[in-house]
Structure 1
């Protein structure tokens, strides 16, 4: 914080004292910063567009999945790019309710997707339950994937 304040103060002093030399350098730095910001925002919107095309369905299914991992996951990549990495958190809700019953603890399971999922491909897996608040049975809840973070190939 102190370093940034000193840097800003020095830049203002140079701009006031030597405007003919500091102004072109400042404009070039501002244009460069604007280009980098534009590129980062474009990349982020591209990733969000691709994430919007993913179909992720999670259901409690003890018959298809073993007891330690009773959540059945089906992921379909509907985007035009290959999915290279995917991370998410699972939320649990009572039907018709909007209160998340999954606790966010440090020891909660981490959910990661397949290493490489081509466009149009489907991936199925069984997942462990998140830590639920006491008094709720997993078989009576709806599960949703939230806070998706993913990367796609170019």
Structure 2
């Protein structure tokens, strides 16, 4: 993909970019993507999510760490969409999480909007500003650092 803005990616295209699969693929749709710069994506939250069995019985709340993971997966797509990066040979791994705040619970029926913007990158390390919202309200926000690495090195 080029630096050109992409308007929409369906689940098939998302799965061609990210290595994650059920039950850990946390991006359902991408509505805006500027490779190397910004993404606006969504995760639809349903009662069928496997984590609701234990978090919490009778009071389903999406774990905050999974909201951050959804943001990181979206952030990985920013990097993996850059021309010349072979998604079959590379993987995007956390190196740090900073300034994270959780502002509201995310529950079944919510549409989690994932907005991730590059702050900076140097060599293979990327730092991104992440904001997850539901109906315009901030659910979680923070900064994520990650590195793009060769799959063979793992």
Tell me which interval the TM-score lies in, with the shorter structure as reference length. Answer: 0.3 to 0.5
Greater strand proportion = 2
Q: TM-score, normalised by structure 2?
A: 0.32
Give the greater-gyration-radius structure (CA): 1
